[in-house]
Each structure stands twice: as C-alpha cells, then as structure tokens.
Chains A and B, each alone.
Chain A
Amino acid sequence: GNSVTQMEGPVTLSEEAFLTINCTYTATGYPSLFWYVQYPGEGLQLLLKATKADDKGSNKGFEATYRKETTSFHLEKGSVQVSDSAVYFCALMTSSRQLTFGSGTQLTVLP
C-alpha cells in the first residue's frame, strides 16, 4: 500500500536558519506529492505540490523537488521566520483520490 515517512520532530531553529524536512514515500503507480501546513489554531492548508518526476513545487519561499529515483520530496527553505512555526505534513495522492499523509513535523522558529 501507499505510505509516507517524514522526519520526526520537533524541529527548533533560530530565525533565518536553513530548513530541511525529509520526506520519502512508497506508492503504486505515479503519485502526486504535496506538503500541507497547519498553523496554530487553523485548518490544514496546501503549501506546495508536484505532480510528476523532477517537478519543483514552491510557495512562500519553501521548495520541494519530486525525486522519483530516491522516492523523496524533501521540504526546504533558505531562511525561516518566526511565522513559519507550524506543523508540516508530507502527503501523496494516487488515482484513488485518497491523500496519504505522513505523521507531521512540528517546527518552532525562535526569534
């Protein structure tokens, strides 16, 4: 079956530090890949996505590249801000239209 494994948290960084959150997946077929983010007190929202191999998704300074050869979709940001503190979820979707999520990574950015 489909599964997503992401870096365990919590992750604590200082403002302007570089962020990487690792994500690898197992899936049948050719999934689309996503990063969702949950800010405190809010619902999950889509951060970025990539639908085929070598695609790069980007939004709000975050990037992730769909790597089919390593089955990975690592999230990166060059300089984090306090406002980036949230829980980040890696996810995949196949033709079934079910999103399969990882367990989430809590990020705290200190001023």
Chain B
Amino acid sequence: GAGVSQTPSNKVTEKGKYVELRCDPISGHTALYWYRQSLGQGPEFLIYFQGTGAADDSGLPNDRFFAVRPEGSVSTLKIQRTERGDSAVYLCASSLESARNTGELFFGEGSRLTVL
C-alpha cells in the first residue's frame, strides 16, 4: 500500500516568503507528526496531531510556524516570513493509535526547504 507522501519534495524560496508543505499520511493512521531535520542532525519534533487536533505543538520554534489537519487526514505545515535558518528537511510521519507509545512511526521522504 501507499506510504506517507510529502509534497513538494524540494522547495526553494526567498527570505520573507510564505511556504506550505503538504503531508498525506497512510490511510487509517490517526496520529500525524511533523519533524524538522537540519544538515548533519537528527530529526527534531515540531508538532503532533491526534485526529484533527494538535495534541502537542511544543516543538514549533515560533509563531511563524503553524500546522493544520482539518479533516483528520492530510496535514499542511505553514511557514510565514521564511528566514534562512528555516532551511531544512521537513519530515512527516504517521502511526496507528494502537501504536500508542510504541514509537513505530512511518516517515515520508521529506520536503527539502531552501530559503535564499
């Protein structure tokens, strides 16, 4: 079956612009996560959705970052007034609710964002 799908795979933008990154999770997965991976580092947690609601957004770095999941499936990560420091690979992952606390997340290939 299909895995986690992320679009675009690559995005180049200019400082100050607005960016949207999309994630289509595995069908039936109720939990959805966003992580950010900078060069040479491991992924860092941004936000976690259970259904339509953000259960934990403690990893969002500031109020320029926002994410939605209006119908409990596809999610969009939105970044306003992009800065060069936002350049990274943004990873989306999904999991079954029954995987609660087991840590088995299914990751997409990521969206590479470059801010010039």
Contacts and interface: CB of A to CB of B under 8 A. Distances in A.
Interface of A: 4, 32, 34, 41-46, 49, 51, 89, 91, 93, 95-104
Given A43-B3, A43-B109, A102 B102 contact: no
A49 B103 contact: yes
B108 to A, nearest CB: 5
Given A43-B109, A96-B56, 16 more contacts: A4-B42, A32-B103, A42-B109, A43-B107, A44-B107, A49-B103, A91-B42, A93-B101, A95-B101, A97-B100, A97-B101, A98-B48, A98-B56, A99-B35, A99-B105, A103-B41
Contacts of A4: 42
Interface of B: 3-4, 33, 35, 40-45, 48, 55-56, 58-59, 91, 93, 100-110
Chief secondary structure at chain B's binding surface: loop
A44 B56 contact: no
Contacts of A42: 109
Contact of A99 (B40, B43, B106): B43
A33 to B, nearest CB: 8
Nearest to A92: B103
A49 B102 CA distance: 8
13 contacts: A34-B103, A42-B109, A43-B4, A44-B91, A89-B42, A98-B45, A98-B59, A99-B43, A99-B45, A99-B103, A99-B105, A100-B45, A103-B42
A46 B56 contact: no
Contact of B42 (A51, A97, A98, A101): A101
Nearest to B40: A103
Contacts of B35: 99
A42 B44 CA distance: 18
